[in-house]
Structure 1
């Protein structure tokens, strides 16, 4: 039986919606949470990949500088300059995001690009460091990053 106040045929639909709307809302909220957590996960993955590129750049720079010191080869020096550019780019990005006032987002993006990070990861790296730099999972690598940038 439908309610006498509702037009014919709409009674069951409204009662169904009254019962199901909380479940539909939960599904939408769960989808939003899943989407957000995937974005955070992707940003952390990009951060870890960036750490690897930074470390590789430092290691390669030391190797080529040692080769240059031993041989005096201009090629070894050119390879050193190329290898050190990635860590220097990441340093520029870190300084632009965390130690400049106001934050220079364009300089941060350019620095991460110089750091050889994948172009599709750059915006998520900027977002992660901007909003999560006070969390321990990001703070600990930042401490090591700052120490490494001094040398």
Structure 2
């Protein structure tokens, strides 16, 4: 089985003192111990950069460009990055029309489209509700449900 790792997970592991950091790291360790493949998308990395470099007072991590680049490099070294392939757009278009996706929710729909295009069925996320509507296509998994 393969897992897409949601952006909220990689944001937590970049914050060692965040209460959800340990839970994220433990879930990833469990997946690796179970020999599950864990993937990111280019979109995850773009979203990470957006939140990492946003000021703390605007709900970001407040990282400098140098710190954000170092974290980005770590993520690129740790995770396999799924390529953007033409099929993603067709899946995305079908999803947004079928589910009536509007506004900011188009980003989660695109992650689902990447999963479908690459045959990935599970996403590790703290935001189960963001992916619940796609339950007939993918399976959202909360990190603490993986702990052995």
Structure with the higher strand share, 1 or 2: 2
- TM-score after normalising by structure 1: 0.23
Structure with the greater alpha carbon radius of gyration: 1
- TM-score after normalising by structure 2: 0.23
Structure with the higher helix share, 1 or 2: 1
- Greater RCO, CA 8 A, separation 6+: 2
